[in-house]
Structure 1
Amino acid sequence: MPTLRDVLLDRTGLGPEQVEWLHLLVGDWQLLSDLSFADLVLWVPDREGGWIAAAHVRPTTGPMVFVEDMVGLHQENTQRPGITQAYADRRIVREGEPRWREAMPIREEAIPVVREGHPIAVLTRHTNLSTMRTPSRLEVTYLATADALARMVAAGDFPTAGAPTGRRRGAPRVGDGVIRLDVAGTVTYASPNAVSAVHRLGHGGEVVGARLEQLVTGAVREQEPVDETLGMVLTGREPWRTEVQNRGVSVTFRAIPLSETGQRTGALVLLRDVSELRRRERELLTKDATIREIHHRVKNNLQTVAALLRLQSRRMTDPQARLALDEAVRRVGTIALVHETLSQGFDETVDFDEIAVRALQAAVEVATRDAPVSGRHTGSFGRLRAEDATALAMVMAELVHNAVEHGLAAVGGSVTVDARRGSDGADELLTVTVSDDGVGLPEGFDEATSGLGVQIVTSLVQDLRGSITWSAAKPRGTCVRFVARLRSVRGE
């Protein structure tokens, strides 16, 4: 199924500003659909001389009309005379007799979408009349507001380009609460959900007939922070959003100014009680802060262990014992490096390239000064889960250390770490190659009977569900390549 962008760019001759205007309209037209209790279909003139449906939305407040999606449907001018007339005359056209669709009487209206005085598309509104009854005051207000918005679309006054949107999470919808204001900011109608939200903020009196700005600001305690845009939103003068907090209750407000022939006639205000949403957000922030603090403390504890091992190493007279303790210090430091990086982030993933560069630099810096050694990192590790990062850091640190200590210590040279991300369809794969131009592998090298470092690497690669190979590099040196199967980071 084509997207709105596909249809607008591939099937029409609309310019960039006109395309952006239609994107703004579709981004906000759920509001019009819900107030109308009707399906909306956006029709744009295509290059073939007819009309093509570029977008379709269904109401959440009433029965839908089209079960199937209308996007991509092509219609000739003769099939849609109302659309053609609305486009040519720049006025709303309502068909006289209802259309029948699957035993449902459907009323259709065509609303021209105007941008800077020129029609660029047509919006059709399809209402299922089979469920119509004597409308309540809520339904009358919704329909009257929808008609006002439709006239603004036809006049090029809706949507509002460049309006600041504020925070999107928790944005109010029609079903959450609707307030209608007159030009002075007085409440002429408030839905039951809207009244409940205002009462939860602390206002105990009537809502209808009062000025919304006064009753909200009067209920908010002085010590509560107030958004500087609050007055403009609660009077309906600007198409902005704001949020009010009081007594542990958070309510978001969104204002949509209404106008007729360029003159402001009032406003529609949507509001939503987001207290539970904000509480969960605070819990998540607290959890994230706790996790980062745990990683920070683990890093500090590991550094303390490394310092104690380093002190113990200095007291050793046996060279082999001192070497073993120094290697333990290096390995503990590698794990601490991963936890340090995790303590600075906001989730349980790390950008491993930073760890790789630091580990490579550390290995090069401790190399013997008699034979200069350089390090190079190519490719990218990308972001990794914490479980994979710790094992991978250990593997890479061991391989780089071995390359510097055994391959390059006597002759000098360079060590290169290359990382490539890929996929085999089922898992994310990481291929890492550590190569040097040193003396190469010793005669009769067998990973199964090699030292502790090689055994650690082999075990950790198995934990990563991977494989590893050692081989001679050309023209000289050693090449170690391993492939790891990574845990997905998409859910993080």
Structure 2
Amino acid sequence: MTEINQEISKLCKEFTSLSEKDVKLIVEKSKSLQMIADLAQGNIFIDCVTHDLETAIVVAEAVPTTVPSLYRYRVVGKKILSTYEPGVFKAYRTGIPVLMNRALTHEGLHVCQNVTPIKNDQGLTIALLILETDITQLVEQEQELALLSETTAEFGRTWDIVLKEQMIPDYLEEALILLGEDGTIQYANSFAIGLIKEHSPIQPKKLTNQNILAVLPFIDQTDFSHRGITQREVRSMDRVFILRSICLLNKKADSKRMLLYIRDISDLRDKERQLMVNQVVIKEIHHRVKNNLQTVASLLRMQMRRGVPEETKLLYQESLNRIASIAAVHDVLSSSGIEKVNMDEIIKKITSGQAFNPYQPNCSVAIHLCTEEEIELDSSKAVSLALIVTELIQNCMKHAFIGRSTGNVTIHFKRNGELIELGVIDDGNGIDPNIEKNHLGIEIVKNLTSYDLNGTFEFLLEGGKGQRHW
């Protein structure tokens, strides 16, 4: 079980009354969070309601890699109250999604919140999937619009200018339609007229005073019967549109008009679909690379079992370890589909799944990993770093514990400003000054550090311990 799965299970067990079967379902749902966050360009969470039913706890989250995160710090384990998140608890009580709900984060950002219940096979809501996207800029635009339409006279003068200066709205590549309170068309720019012609046989000169419902089939009466701002996505004629409806109130006359803003986002949705396909292809490529590397490793092991000269066995094992290090990176990439790798996970795979002790078979060596924070690297750097870790551990095993029955190797991995430091420290017998010049593994480390990672590498001797940094 991964650390994330363990964390979800621990939080659910401590704060909720969910069954093990329900917790497993939540864990399964959490595996898709990162992809959803990247595609939706927003932060996504799974919340579970606690024992008192008026508090929920965040058990999983994903931060988008495509846009900045809404939150500076990780929020898993944080509690939320029903008074501050009414949309979340409404979805929990009713079992119905709450969409386009607006909220304000504790860091002062306006967000659009979509809450979808996660239900078990009995139809009971066991958790809530929450997507939050930043709408701070939209809220600021709405506030500006409210200021512009503060008085009827000011609004009238502004709109008269727009109508007279026809070239201003006609240069826009979005449809602008002004409606009366009953849905009759009072104005449409050139893009809107073209859109109407595609959907209706009515000629443009007859558009004035036509009801919008008669000329655009994807418009609904609710789009112009409200007194606020709404937004929804609609599909028509194999195209996708964002439809925004803005109510322009005349408080003195107690009347209103509606401004419809329609934008064609078909290309954007096509690119999103292509992105999803590409991600699947990339995951499959990494999966096949991993399988091919494992096949090569299996062939080497088969050859070793059939018999190789004693002096070459260690060379075979070193080659196997190098192949396994690269395979570990592609294994993680094949499951995530994102070209970023968590190095903690990679180093743990390297140290737990490989044989580093054929050099001193009578010596029991413990390998420890010390990290201050999770560090992610792109795939090419992750492969180079995985090979460096493998070579340095093999070097420790080969030279540090001669004549010893026990030993320790500690791997330090941390950020130092804009740099990343890797240290492999053993408590062995010290450094042979000739190793750096003659050992193939050290040459590999030097080349990978200098040419692939643009870093530096050095030996340090400290109280009989060999410490390697890059």
Shorter-normalised TM range: 0.5 to 0.7
CA distance in 2, matches of 1:231, 1:343: 47
The alpha-carbon deviation at position 381 of structure 1 amounts to 6.6
Cα distance in 1 between the residues matched to 2:211 and 2:140: 30
1:185 corresponds in structure 2 to 183
Q: Residue type of the partner of 2:195? A: A
- Counterpart code for 1:192: S
Aligned residue in 2 for 1:120: none
Shift of 1:242: 1.3
Alpha-carbon deviations, 1:24-66, whole Å to 9, x = none?
7862159739989xxxxxxxxxxxxxxxxxxxxxxxxxxxxxx
Q: Which amino acid in the other structure matches residue 304 of structure 1?
A: T
SS at the partner of 2:430?
A: coil
Offset, 1:393: 1.0
| Cα displacement (A) at 1:478 | 1.3
Does residue 470 of the first structure (1) align with residue 459 of the second (2)?
yes
The structure 2 residue matched to 1:457, chosen from 445, 454, 463, is 445
1:326 maps to 317
Q: Which residue of 1 aligns with 2:245?
A: 255
The aligned runs of 1:375-414 (5 Å cut-off) are: 375-380=368-373, 382-408=375-401, 410-414=404-408
Q: Structure 2: how far apart are the matches of 1:363 and 1:288?
A: 29
Q: Percent identity?
A: 29
Partner of 1:71: none
User: d(CA) in 2 for partners of 1:405 and 1:194?
Assistant: 75
Q: Distance in 1 between matches of 2:330 and 2:338?
A: 12
CA distance in 1, matches of 2:394, 2:211: 73
SS in 1 for 2:392: helix
Q: For residue 439 of structure 1, what is the aligned residue in structure 2?
A: 429
Structure 1: gaps of 5 or more residues: 1-15, 37-90, 95-108, 112-125, 144-172, 220-229, 483-492
- How far the C-alpha of 1:334 sits from its partner, in A, is 0.7
What residue number does 2:202 align with? 205
Q: Separation in 1 of the partners of 2:286 and 2:244?
A: 40
The whole-number CA distance in structure 1 between the counterparts of 2:246 and 2:297 is 61
Normalised by the size of structure 2, how large is the TM-score? 0.59
2:370–2:410: 8 Å Cα contact kept in structure 1? yes
Deviation readout 1:350-370 (Å, 9 max, x if unpaired): 222321232233358868585
Q: Report which structure shows greater RCO (CA 8 Å, sep ≥6).
A: 1
Matches within 5 A, 1:232-243: 232-233=222-223, 235-236=225-226, 239-243=229-233
Residue 440 of structure 1 deviates from its aligned partner by 2.2
SS of the aligned residue for 1:240 comes to strand
Q: Give the distance between the partners of 1:274 and 1:254, measured in 2 at CA.
A: 13
CA RMSD of aligned residues (A): 4.1
Q: How does 1:26-425 map to 2 (within 5 A)?
A: 27-29=140-142, 32=145, 137=163, 176-200=174-198, 202-205=199-202, 208-213=208-213, 215-217=215-217, 232-233=222-223, 235-236=225-226, 239-261=229-251, 265-362=256-353, 371-380=364-373, 382-408=375-401, 410-422=404-416
Asked if structure 1 preserves the Cα contact closer than 8 Å seen for 2:369 and 2:411, the reply is yes
The 1:432–1:135 alpha-carbon spacing in structure 2 relative to 1, beyond 3 Å, is closer
Q: Give the direction of change, closer, same or farther, for the CA distance of 1:265–1:272 in structure 2 (3 Å limit).
A: same
Q: Deviation per CA, 1:287-323, whole angstroms, max 9, x where unpaired? A: 3332222222111111111111111111124222232
CA–CA distance in 2 between the matches of 1:314 and 1:356? 27
- Kindly tell me: are residues 34 and 179 of structure 1, through their superposed partners in 2, closer, same or farther at Cα, counting changes over 3 Å? farther
1:136 deviation in Å?
Answer: 6.9
User: Contact (CA 8 Å) 1:233, 1:239: kept in 2 or not?
Assistant: no
Answer whether contact 1:180 1:190 (CA < 8 A) is retained: yes
Q: Which amino acid is 1:250 matched to?
A: V
